[in-house]
């Protein structure tokens, strides 16, 4: 997918599990001087001249980047999705997901297109529609993550030019090695620690490289509005654990399963938040059978 030579793209959240593949793919399409990334405060990875470290709630820093880098487009990937941490620290989650997104929208949203990566957790998964949630379904979040992302979406929707893409669960290896489901599960298994995952919590899992491909395509085509992007298959959390277990050749005894009603503590649990991605895939003319996630072997028997 070709990006116009005149575009200058700013990407927030480059250390996120989906932000880094997006930034990496854009780095192959744009000169370094035309691409800029933001990483969290005190972070020094990735190390590059076109990446800065600060919190997206810092308006003055965002204004400095706007005035110095002069982006023509913004891809907003920053945010927090850790269910347990966000339930324990709701003010922190609100600051990053809502206030941070509002600051991004206020600084850039008047005259610069913003593409925002949201989440399937804006839905409860209770009585989920056959075929997955569509863009016309009303959000009904049940946890702090989902509620803060719904608020964040509302700020983006006020921008003159915006595109919101709600993602299924991203699967892949993060740049820091400590983000996302794969990293967390694999990290436990490598230390010979058990993992207990739910049989009845379902997500439209999607490979991070495909997220990058589709996001860059949506950017290049200047899509506007709300879209869903999930993978071909619906996986339970237990299915993901089984995939990591088999991929790494770990002991089967490390993986345990349970039903949601057996959970006594922890955040509110979603049901089936599978996404219907037909609108975006049809616009981008991408065959579901040729999805990158399946080519990379993220398949269940």
Q: Which two tokens stand for residue 80?
A: 């927090």
The domain in which residue 25 lies consists of: 9-171+207-231+275-294
For residue 249, tell me if it sits in a domain. no
Is 261 among the domain residues? no
Residue 141 in contact with residue 123, Cβ under 8 Å? yes
pLDDT at position 264 is 82
20 belongs to a structural domain: yes
pLDDT of amino acid 233: 83
Per-residue tens of pLDDT for the chain, all 301 residues: 789 989 999 999 999 999 999 999 999 999 999 999 999 998 887 888 999 999 999 999 999 999 999 999 999 999 999 999 999 999 999 999 999 999 999 999 999 999 999 999 999 999 999 999 999 999 999 999 999 999 999 999 999 999 999 999 999 887 876 778 999 999 999 999 999 999 999 999 999 999 999 999 999 999 999 999 999 889 999 999 999 999 999 999 999 999 999 988 888 999 999 999 999 999 997 533 444 444 344 544 3
> Whole-angstrom Cα distance, residue 17 to residue 267?
22
Judge whether 193 lies within some domain: no
Q: Please tell me the distance from the alpha carbon of residue 281 to that of residue 135, in angstroms, as a whole number.
A: 13
Kindly state the tokens that stand for 276: 């219907």
Cα–Cα distance between 25 and 214 in angstroms, integer?
Answer: 11
Q: What is the pTM of this model?
A: 0.92
Q: Residues, the chain, total? A: 301
Report whether the peptide linkage leading into residue 182 is cis, meaning its omega lies within 30 degrees of zero.
no
Model pLDDT, residue 293: 44
What's the distance, CA 294 to chain centroid? 19
Contact 150, 294 (CB under 8 A): no
Residue 96 tokens read as 């990053």
The confidence score (pLDDT) of residue 232 equals 85
* 37 part of a folded domain: yes
State the pLDDT at residue 301.
Answer: 38
Residue 1 lies in a domain: no
The CATH code of the domain that includes 82 is: 3.40.50.720
Q: Does 283 map to a domain? A: yes
Judge whether 299 lies within some domain: no
Phi, psi of 90 (to 5 degrees): -65, -30
pLDDT of residue 298: 52
Q: Are 38 and 51 in contact (CB under 8 A)?
A: yes
- Domain count for the chain, please give it: 1
């Amino acid at each position: 997918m070709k990006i116009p030579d005149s575009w200058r793209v700013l990407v927030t959240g480059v250390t996120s599990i989906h932000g880094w593949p997006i930034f990496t793919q854009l780095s192959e399409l744009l000169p370094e001087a035309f691409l800029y990334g933001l990483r969290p405060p005190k972070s020094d990875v990735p190390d590059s001249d076109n990446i800065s470290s600060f919190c997206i709630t810092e308006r003055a820093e965002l204004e400095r980047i706007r005035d110095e880098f002069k982006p023509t487009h913004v891809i907003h990937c920053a945010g927090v999705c850790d269910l347990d941490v966000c339930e324990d620290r709701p003010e922190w989650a609100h600051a990053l997901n809502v206030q941070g997104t509002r600051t991004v929208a206020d600084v850039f949203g008047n005259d610069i297109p913003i593409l925002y990566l949201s989440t399937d957790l804006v839905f409860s998964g209770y009585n989920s529609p056959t075929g997955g949630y569509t863009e016309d379904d009303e959000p009904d979040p049940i946890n702090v993550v989902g509620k803060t992302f719904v608020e964040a979406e509302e700020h983006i929707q006020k921008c003159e030019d915006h595109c919101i893409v709600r993602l299924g669960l991203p699967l892949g290896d993060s740049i820091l090695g400590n983000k996302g489901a794969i990293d967390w599960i694999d990290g436990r298994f490598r230390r010979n620690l058990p993992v207990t995952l739910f049989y009845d919590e379902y997500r439209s899992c999607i490979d991070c490289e495909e997220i990058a491909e589709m996001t860059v395509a949506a950017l290049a085509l200047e899509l506007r509005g709300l879209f869903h992007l999930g993978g071909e298959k619906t996986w339970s959390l237990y299915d993901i654990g089984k995939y990591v277990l088999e991929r790494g050749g770990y002991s089967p005894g490390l993986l345990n399963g349970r039903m949601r009603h057996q959970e006594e503590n922890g955040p509110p649990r979603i049901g089936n938040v599978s996404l219907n991605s037909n609108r975006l895939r049809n616009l981008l003319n991408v065959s579901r059978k040729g999805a990158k996630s399946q080519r990379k072997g993220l398949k269940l028997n």
